[in-house]
Structure 1
Amino acid sequence: MTERIVVVGAALLDGGRLLAARRSAPPDLAGRWELPGGKVEAGETPEAALVRELREELGVETEALERIPGEWPLRPPYVLQVWTARLRPGSGDPKPLQDHDELRWLTAPEVWDVPWLDQDVPAVREASARLDARAR
Protein backbone atom coordinates (compact mmCIF):
# COMPACT_ATOMS: atom_id res chain seq x y z
CA MET A 1 0.00 0.00 0.00
CA THR A 2 1.35 3.41 -0.88
CA GLU A 3 1.79 6.15 1.65
CA ARG A 4 -1.23 8.43 1.91
CA ILE A 5 -0.56 12.13 1.52
CA VAL A 6 -2.93 14.38 3.41
CA VAL A 7 -4.22 17.54 1.76
CA VAL A 8 -5.79 19.95 4.22
CA GLY A 9 -8.70 22.16 3.26
CA ALA A 10 -9.92 25.15 5.23
CA ALA A 11 -13.56 25.82 5.89
CA LEU A 12 -12.61 29.43 6.66
CA LEU A 13 -15.55 30.93 8.52
CA ASP A 14 -16.03 34.62 9.20
CA GLY A 15 -19.19 36.34 10.38
CA GLY A 16 -21.50 33.56 9.18
CA ARG A 17 -19.74 33.26 5.81
CA LEU A 18 -17.59 30.53 4.23
CA LEU A 19 -14.65 31.37 1.94
CA ALA A 20 -14.66 29.74 -1.50
CA ALA A 21 -11.67 29.93 -3.87
CA ARG A 22 -11.92 29.50 -7.65
CA ARG A 23 -9.12 27.44 -9.21
CA SER A 24 -7.10 28.97 -12.04
CA ALA A 25 -4.88 25.88 -12.45
CA PRO A 26 -4.43 23.11 -13.47
CA PRO A 27 -6.60 23.36 -16.60
CA ASP A 28 -8.87 20.42 -15.70
CA LEU A 29 -9.83 22.13 -12.41
CA ALA A 30 -9.83 25.76 -13.57
CA GLY A 31 -13.11 27.59 -13.01
CA ARG A 32 -14.32 25.21 -10.28
CA TRP A 33 -14.44 26.24 -6.62
CA GLU A 34 -12.75 24.68 -3.61
CA LEU A 35 -11.92 25.12 0.02
CA PRO A 36 -8.41 26.63 0.05
CA GLY A 37 -5.51 24.60 1.45
CA GLY A 38 -2.75 22.28 0.37
CA LYS A 39 -0.43 19.38 1.13
CA VAL A 40 0.87 18.57 4.59
CA GLU A 41 4.68 18.55 4.45
CA ALA A 42 6.85 15.93 6.19
CA GLY A 43 7.05 16.57 9.93
CA GLU A 44 4.20 19.10 9.85
CA THR A 45 0.88 18.73 11.68
CA PRO A 46 -2.25 19.15 9.55
CA GLU A 47 -3.18 22.23 11.60
CA ALA A 48 0.24 23.84 11.00
CA ALA A 49 -0.01 23.00 7.27
CA LEU A 50 -3.41 24.68 7.11
CA VAL A 51 -2.12 27.89 8.67
CA ARG A 52 0.96 27.87 6.37
CA GLU A 53 -1.03 27.14 3.20
CA LEU A 54 -3.54 29.91 3.91
CA ARG A 55 -0.67 32.34 4.51
CA GLU A 56 0.98 31.31 1.20
CA GLU A 57 -2.19 31.08 -0.93
CA LEU A 58 -4.29 33.91 0.53
CA GLY A 59 -1.91 36.10 2.55
CA VAL A 60 -3.93 35.73 5.75
CA GLU A 61 -3.17 34.76 9.32
CA THR A 62 -5.56 32.09 10.55
CA GLU A 63 -6.18 29.64 13.33
CA ALA A 64 -7.32 26.05 12.77
CA LEU A 65 -10.32 25.27 14.98
CA GLU A 66 -11.77 21.76 14.61
CA ARG A 67 -11.46 18.92 12.17
CA ILE A 68 -14.60 18.12 10.21
CA PRO A 69 -15.14 14.36 10.59
CA GLY A 70 -14.23 12.17 7.65
CA GLU A 71 -11.73 12.27 4.83
CA TRP A 72 -12.29 12.24 1.10
CA PRO A 73 -10.20 10.55 -1.59
CA LEU A 74 -8.48 12.73 -4.16
CA ARG A 75 -6.14 11.53 -6.92
CA PRO A 76 -4.09 8.67 -5.31
CA PRO A 77 -2.23 8.85 -2.99
CA TYR A 78 -3.92 12.05 -1.76
CA VAL A 79 -6.78 12.32 0.74
CA LEU A 80 -8.59 15.50 1.77
CA GLN A 81 -9.11 16.40 5.42
CA VAL A 82 -10.92 19.61 6.33
CA TRP A 83 -10.68 21.85 9.37
CA THR A 84 -12.79 24.83 10.28
CA ALA A 85 -10.63 27.91 10.65
CA ARG A 86 -10.97 31.60 11.41
CA LEU A 87 -9.03 34.73 10.61
CA ARG A 88 -6.80 35.89 13.46
CA PRO A 89 -7.42 39.41 14.77
CA GLY A 90 -5.50 41.91 12.65
CA SER A 91 -5.23 39.61 9.63
CA GLY A 92 -5.76 41.31 6.30
CA ASP A 93 -8.47 40.26 3.88
CA PRO A 94 -7.78 37.10 1.84
CA LYS A 95 -6.32 37.66 -1.65
CA PRO A 96 -5.98 35.04 -4.42
CA LEU A 97 -2.18 34.74 -4.53
CA GLN A 98 -1.60 31.18 -5.86
CA ASP A 99 -3.64 28.84 -8.08
CA HIS A 100 -6.83 30.89 -7.67
CA ASP A 101 -8.28 33.81 -9.65
CA GLU A 102 -11.26 34.71 -7.48
CA LEU A 103 -12.37 34.42 -3.87
CA ARG A 104 -15.92 34.74 -2.64
CA TRP A 105 -17.42 34.85 0.86
CA LEU A 106 -20.64 32.82 0.80
CA THR A 107 -23.46 33.01 3.33
CA ALA A 108 -25.37 29.81 4.17
CA PRO A 109 -28.03 30.40 1.44
CA GLU A 110 -25.27 31.11 -1.15
CA VAL A 111 -23.02 28.11 -0.48
CA TRP A 112 -24.32 26.11 -3.46
CA ASP A 113 -24.26 29.09 -5.87
CA VAL A 114 -20.78 28.09 -7.12
CA PRO A 115 -19.68 24.87 -8.90
CA TRP A 116 -17.56 23.14 -6.21
CA LEU A 117 -14.95 20.53 -7.11
CA ASP A 118 -16.57 17.11 -6.66
CA GLN A 119 -14.16 16.05 -3.93
CA ASP A 120 -14.95 19.18 -1.88
CA VAL A 121 -18.74 18.72 -1.91
CA PRO A 122 -19.02 16.42 1.17
CA ALA A 123 -16.74 18.71 3.21
CA VAL A 124 -18.62 21.81 2.04
CA ARG A 125 -21.87 20.11 3.09
CA GLU A 126 -20.41 19.57 6.59
CA ALA A 127 -19.02 23.12 6.76
CA SER A 128 -22.29 24.65 5.62
CA ALA A 129 -24.15 22.74 8.37
CA ARG A 130 -21.87 24.55 10.85
CA LEU A 131 -22.62 27.83 9.05
CA ASP A 132 -26.36 27.17 9.36
CA ALA A 133 -25.97 26.39 13.06
CA ARG A 134 -24.07 29.63 13.68
CA ALA A 135 -26.64 31.65 11.71
CA ARG A 136 -29.50 30.58 13.98
Structure 2
Amino acid sequence: MTGLINVVGGAILDSLANPGRLLVARRTAPPLFAGMWEFPGGKVEPGESPEQALHRELLEELGVQVRLGGELEGGSASGWPLNDRAVMRVWLAELVDGEPRPLQDHDELRWINLGNRSEVLALPWIPADLPIVEALLAALADSARPALPAR
Protein backbone atom coordinates (compact mmCIF):
# COMPACT_ATOMS: atom_id res chain seq x y z
CA MET A 1 0.00 0.00 0.00
CA THR A 2 2.33 2.71 -1.19
CA GLY A 3 1.39 6.12 -2.44
CA LEU A 4 -1.33 6.62 0.14
CA ILE A 5 -2.00 10.05 1.61
CA ASN A 6 -1.15 9.91 5.30
CA VAL A 7 -3.51 11.77 7.61
CA VAL A 8 -3.34 12.13 11.40
CA GLY A 9 -6.10 12.82 13.88
CA GLY A 10 -6.32 13.64 17.55
CA ALA A 11 -8.82 12.03 19.90
CA ILE A 12 -8.51 14.93 22.37
CA LEU A 13 -9.72 13.83 25.79
CA ASP A 14 -10.31 15.88 28.92
CA SER A 15 -7.80 13.56 30.61
CA LEU A 16 -5.58 10.74 29.39
CA ALA A 17 -5.62 9.17 32.85
CA ASN A 18 -9.38 9.31 33.42
CA PRO A 19 -11.16 10.24 30.17
CA GLY A 20 -14.74 11.42 30.42
CA ARG A 21 -15.13 13.78 27.46
CA LEU A 22 -13.92 13.97 23.85
CA LEU A 23 -13.40 17.17 21.84
CA VAL A 24 -14.93 16.89 18.38
CA ALA A 25 -14.92 19.31 15.44
CA ARG A 26 -17.61 20.07 12.85
CA ARG A 27 -16.36 20.40 9.25
CA THR A 28 -17.08 23.37 7.02
CA ALA A 29 -15.72 21.82 3.80
CA PRO A 30 -15.73 20.08 1.42
CA PRO A 31 -19.49 20.33 0.77
CA LEU A 32 -19.84 16.55 1.01
CA PHE A 33 -18.68 16.65 4.67
CA ALA A 34 -19.80 20.14 5.74
CA GLY A 35 -21.78 19.92 8.98
CA MET A 36 -20.35 16.50 9.88
CA TRP A 37 -18.16 15.78 12.90
CA GLU A 38 -14.61 14.47 12.95
CA PHE A 39 -11.37 14.11 14.84
CA PRO A 40 -9.31 17.26 14.22
CA GLY A 41 -6.05 16.78 12.34
CA GLY A 42 -4.76 16.73 8.79
CA LYS A 43 -2.18 15.59 6.28
CA VAL A 44 1.38 14.65 7.13
CA GLU A 45 3.72 16.92 5.18
CA PRO A 46 7.01 15.71 3.62
CA GLY A 47 9.75 15.51 6.24
CA GLU A 48 7.34 15.35 9.21
CA SER A 49 6.73 12.44 11.48
CA PRO A 50 3.04 11.66 12.05
CA GLU A 51 3.34 12.95 15.62
CA GLN A 52 4.93 16.24 14.44
CA ALA A 53 2.14 16.63 11.88
CA LEU A 54 -0.52 16.12 14.53
CA HIS A 55 1.01 18.74 16.82
CA ARG A 56 1.22 21.20 13.89
CA GLU A 57 -2.32 20.51 12.68
CA LEU A 58 -3.89 20.89 16.14
CA LEU A 59 -2.09 24.19 16.65
CA GLU A 60 -3.20 25.47 13.22
CA GLU A 61 -6.80 24.20 13.41
CA LEU A 62 -7.61 24.68 17.10
CA GLY A 63 -4.85 26.87 18.56
CA VAL A 64 -3.87 24.23 21.13
CA GLN A 65 -0.89 22.21 22.21
CA VAL A 66 -1.43 18.64 23.37
CA ARG A 67 0.32 15.79 25.13
CA LEU A 68 0.02 12.63 23.06
CA GLY A 69 -0.98 9.35 24.59
CA GLY A 70 -1.13 6.02 22.82
CA GLU A 71 -2.13 5.47 19.24
CA LEU A 72 -5.59 4.03 18.61
CA GLU A 73 -4.59 1.06 16.48
CA GLY A 74 -6.13 1.18 13.02
CA GLY A 75 -7.96 -1.16 10.72
CA SER A 76 -4.70 -1.91 8.85
CA ALA A 77 -0.96 -1.66 9.40
CA SER A 78 -0.92 1.77 7.73
CA GLY A 79 -3.91 3.14 9.64
CA TRP A 80 -7.66 3.61 9.34
CA PRO A 81 -8.80 3.67 5.71
CA LEU A 82 -10.46 6.98 4.81
CA ASN A 83 -10.95 6.17 1.12
CA ASP A 84 -9.00 4.36 -1.58
CA ARG A 85 -6.25 7.04 -1.48
CA ALA A 86 -5.86 7.97 2.18
CA VAL A 87 -5.37 6.44 5.62
CA MET A 88 -5.48 8.05 9.05
CA ARG A 89 -3.61 7.31 12.25
CA VAL A 90 -5.25 8.56 15.45
CA TRP A 91 -3.62 9.33 18.79
CA LEU A 92 -5.22 9.89 22.16
CA ALA A 93 -4.28 13.34 23.43
CA GLU A 94 -4.99 15.84 26.18
CA LEU A 95 -4.70 19.62 26.20
CA VAL A 96 -1.62 21.19 27.75
CA ASP A 97 -1.92 24.75 26.44
CA GLY A 98 -4.51 26.93 24.75
CA GLU A 99 -8.29 27.17 24.64
CA PRO A 100 -9.67 25.20 21.66
CA ARG A 101 -11.18 27.44 18.97
CA PRO A 102 -12.31 26.59 15.43
CA LEU A 103 -9.57 28.43 13.50
CA GLN A 104 -9.48 26.42 10.25
CA ASP A 105 -11.77 23.93 8.51
CA HIS A 106 -14.35 23.88 11.35
CA ASP A 107 -17.22 26.08 12.51
CA GLU A 108 -17.89 24.44 15.87
CA LEU A 109 -16.09 22.47 18.55
CA ARG A 110 -17.90 20.44 21.18
CA TRP A 111 -16.95 18.39 24.22
CA ILE A 112 -19.05 15.21 24.23
CA ASN A 113 -19.65 12.84 27.13
CA LEU A 114 -17.93 9.51 26.46
CA GLY A 115 -20.11 7.84 29.11
CA ASN A 116 -23.17 8.23 26.86
CA ARG A 117 -22.41 5.91 23.93
CA SER A 118 -25.71 6.59 22.15
CA GLU A 119 -25.14 10.36 22.31
CA VAL A 120 -21.64 9.98 20.87
CA LEU A 121 -22.81 7.74 18.04
CA ALA A 122 -25.84 9.96 17.30
CA LEU A 123 -23.63 12.77 15.99
CA PRO A 124 -23.44 12.91 12.19
CA TRP A 125 -19.85 11.65 11.90
CA ILE A 126 -17.88 11.68 8.69
CA PRO A 127 -18.45 8.06 7.56
CA ALA A 128 -14.74 7.14 7.61
CA ASP A 129 -14.44 8.42 11.21
CA LEU A 130 -17.35 6.38 12.59
CA PRO A 131 -15.41 3.07 12.88
CA ILE A 132 -12.66 5.01 14.68
CA VAL A 133 -15.20 6.46 17.11
CA GLU A 134 -16.55 2.96 17.80
CA ALA A 135 -13.01 1.63 18.34
CA LEU A 136 -12.26 4.53 20.71
CA LEU A 137 -15.39 3.82 22.76
CA ALA A 138 -14.50 0.11 22.90
CA ALA A 139 -10.88 0.84 23.90
CA LEU A 140 -11.97 3.21 26.68
CA ALA A 141 -14.55 0.70 27.93
CA ASP A 142 -11.88 -2.02 27.99
CA SER A 143 -9.46 0.19 29.92
CA ALA A 144 -12.17 0.98 32.49
CA ARG A 145 -12.78 -2.68 33.29
CA PRO A 146 -11.05 -3.94 36.39
CA ALA A 147 -8.19 -6.31 35.75
CA LEU A 148 -8.88 -9.99 36.35
CA PRO A 149 -7.08 -11.38 39.37
CA ALA A 150 -3.91 -13.31 38.60
CA ARG A 151 -4.12 -17.08 38.90
Q: Match for 2:89 among 75, 81, 90?
A: 81
State the structure with more CA Rg: 2
Structure 1 vs Structure 2: percent identity of aligned residues?
Answer: 54
Determine which structure has the larger strand proportion and give its number. Answer: 1
TM-score, with structure 1 as normaliser = 0.89
Aligned position for 2:110? 104
Q: 1:3 & 1:59 partners in 2: Cα distance?
A: 30
Residues in 2 aligned to 1:40 and 1:97: alpha-carbon distance in whole angstroms: 19
Secondary structure of the residue aligned to 1:41 is coil
Aligned to 2:48: 44
1:1-136 alignment, distance < 5 Å: 2-15=2-15, 16-70=20-74, 71-88=79-96, 91-108=97-114, 109=116, 110-132=119-141, 133=143
Q: What is the aligned length?
A: 134
Higher RCO (C-alpha 8 Å, min separation 6): 1
Contact kept, 8 Å, 2:83 with 2:128, in 1: the verdict is: no
Change (3 A) 1:135 1:24: farther
Over the aligned positions, Cα root-mean-square deviation in angstroms equals: 1.9
